[in-house]
Amino acid sequence: MGTFKFLGQDLQYVTDHASVRATGTSEGSVDLVQHLLQVSYNGSGGLPGDSGPQQTQTIIIGVDMWTTGLTPPGSVVLGPGGTPVPEKPWMHIRRPTGEPAVVPGGLDPTTLLDKLKARGNVHRVGQGTVEGVATTEYAEAFPAPTGQAAQDYGAGSLDVWVDHDGLVRQVRVTQALKAAPDNDPPTPAETDVATIQYYDFGAAVTVAPPPASQTEEFGQGLNTLQPCVSSASTALLCKPGTTTSTR
């Protein structure tokens, strides 16, 4: 069983009074065997540097990745002879050969529980339901990170809901984000809660590349493209193929 669909939501709120400052939702489908992924992301909120609603889409077929929404509509690039031409909406990037299939947040619902149990820190919480499916909830607390990440992130927790077949139906990651008074504007202490649900296990996944006429080869448009960078919780939902910073 290597296919499934997912639906996720990310909420970031000010810790002291729980006012939501940023939200993000993602939806897509994955085929782990054929290395296929299709995901759309919609975000909004008051994160530093945000210019308004954010919408991206990413398609992966084997080692090929296409992504759109990285640049504002109407952007231009320099064409032959230095003439400005409209930038094509999709960017194509060839991923390194042998790179593992992309799973949102790296959380494979078919193997996640076994990995958690192998670490020895997970404990059973009780029974529950996820979208009408009977589940058992497990939880694991993780300490604040060390090194440079400790400047931004505190401790957190991971909760998973598993059905009777051992498939993870829902994951929730909660993590403390430290205050950043030197930001412009200053950022208060916050809590980031990311939830992702998995469903339609075993359903067929069909993914097609965008039209070649609407695709720019990487290197002709943007100068740089960095992998998604985020906290442990926003890694569930961070926009594929982009650089995401919550601070």
Q: Is residue 34 part of a domain?
A: yes
Question: How does residue 102 score in pLDDT terms, banded at 50, 70 and 90?
Answer: low
Question: How does residue 125 score in pLDDT terms, banded at 50, 70 and 90?
Answer: very high
Query: 219 pLDDT exceeds 60?
Result: no
CATH number at residue 156: 2.50.20
Q: Is residue 165 part of a domain?
A: yes
Q: Is residue 244 part of a domain?
A: no
Q: Is residue 241 part of a domain?
A: no
Lowest average pLDDT, out of 19-28, 111-120, 193-202, goes to 19-28
* Beta strand ranges found along 95-213 (DSSP E): 123-130, 133-142, 153-162, 168-177, 190-199
Q: Is residue 242 part of a domain?
A: no
Indicate the helix (H) or strand (E) that contains 81: none
Q: Is residue 170 part of a domain?
A: yes
Model confidence, pTM: 0.76
Q: Is residue 243 part of a domain?
A: no
Distance CA 98, CA 228 (A): 19
Query: 198 pLDDT exceeds 70?
Result: yes
Query: 79 pLDDT exceeds 80?
Result: no
Q: Is residue 247 part of a domain?
A: no
- Per-residue pLDDT averaged across 45-68, rounded? 75
Query: Can you give the residue range of the structural domain that contains 214?
Result: 3-236
Strand order in the sheet with 168-177: 123-130, 133-142, 153-162, 168-177, 190-199, 3-14, 20-31, 36-45, 54-61, 64-68, 90-94, 215-217
Residue 197: how many other CB atoms lie within 10 Å: 20
Distance CA 112, CA 231 (A): 19
Contact 178, 155 (CB under 8 A): no
Strands 76-78 and 84-86: antiparallel
Strands 90-94 and 215-217: parallel
* Number of domains the chain is built from: 1
pLDDT > 90 in the chain, percent: 28
Q: What pLDDT, on a 0 to 100 scale, did the predictor assign at position 21? A: 63
Composition of the chain by helix, strand, coil, percent to 5? 10, 45, 45
Q: What pLDDT, on a 0 to 100 scale, did the predictor assign at position 48? A: 46
